[in-house]
Amino acid sequence: MTLRTVTLLTARALSHDVRSLTFDAGEGFAYTPGQWVSLKLPRADGSTLARSYSIASAPRADGRFEIAVTRVEGGEGSTWLHAVEPGATLAMSEPAGFFTLPEVLERPLLLVATGTGVAPIRAMIQHLDAQGSTVPLTLLFGVRTPGDVIFEDEFRELAARRANVRFEPTLSRAPDGYTGRTGYVQTHLAALVHDLGGDCEVYVCGLNAMIREVRRTLKEELGFTRERIHTERYD
């Protein structure tokens, strides 16, 4: 496996348990939005721990990229990444994965994510925005509480700026008085598919249980074929 050295440039909290890390991989670092990389994290005994993360930002000429890491209780990799400081260097694999958009979009897009499953989808959205794409696009983003809606300001700004982009967060543990969408993502699929004209491509990223329910709803209730449903699971 070919490895490259990356340097941590900045780190910031996105929520109480999600941290954004921006790395410099150097000029010539190329990938397709939706792909992931494997970071080699150092251990006290001199060995390394491999952990894979989807890239959460569109490709840049300067080789900088971002990931979003959820801190898992007792998780060796996420604990290390939530503590590491800018300036640290790591070994990293070259990008991989097939959860990517086609070069030419022929249908509207329904992008469905939960938690940090929004990372590769954010990379796709940033890339389409930079291209000036006018393809209708809806992001359905499921989290527990308002504080868990990572990248919220960015998604709302984009939806306000581009008529073809719609941002639809939904909360499974909404507070009293919340007026937005509530419940799990699968409960909103029918309405959003209808609003996109019924003929769309669906990209889904998150935990396996959610993906299973979304796929079932799309196929059994909405008549989607498997070729129109693209998924990436995190567990």
Residue 41, token pair as written in the block: 């994290």
Q: Among 32, 67, 93, give the residue marking a domain's end.
A: 93
Structure confidence by residue, pLDDT tens digits, 151-178: 999 999 999 999 999 999 999 999 999 9
- Residue 103 within a domain: no
> 212: closest CA among 146, 220, 72?
220
What CATH number has the domain bearing residue 122?
Answer: 3.40.50.80
- Residue 69 within a domain: yes
Owning domain of residue 212 = 109-233
Residues 137 and 70 in one domain: no
> 159: closest CA among 186, 178, 140, 179?
140
- Residue 19 within a domain: yes
Cβ atoms < 10 Å from Cβ of 134:
12
- Residue 58 within a domain: yes
- Residue 102 within a domain: no
Separation CA 33–CA 131 (nearest Å): 13
Separation CA 55–CA 116 (nearest Å): 11
Structure confidence by residue, pLDDT tens digits, 34-79: 999 999 999 989 999 999 999 999 999 999 999 999 999 999 999 9
Question: How would DSSP label each residue in 38-104?
Answer: EEEEE-TTS-EEEEEEE--S---TT-EEEEEEEPPTT-HHHHHHHH--TT-EEEEEPPB------SS
Residues 121 and 219 in one domain: yes
Structure confidence by residue, pLDDT tens digits, 207-230: 999 999 999 999 999 999 999 999
Separation CA 114–CA 32 (nearest Å): 21
- Residue 31 within a domain: yes
Residues 163 and 193 in one domain: yes
| pLDDT greater than 90 at residue 114 | yes
Q: Is 198 helix (H, G, I), strand (E, B) or coil?
A: coil
- Residue 101 within a domain: no
Residues 52 and 136 in one domain: no
What CATH number has the domain bearing residue 54?
Answer: 2.40.30.10
φ, ψ of residue 160 in degrees (nearest 5): -75, -30
Q: What is the pTM of this model?
A: 0.96
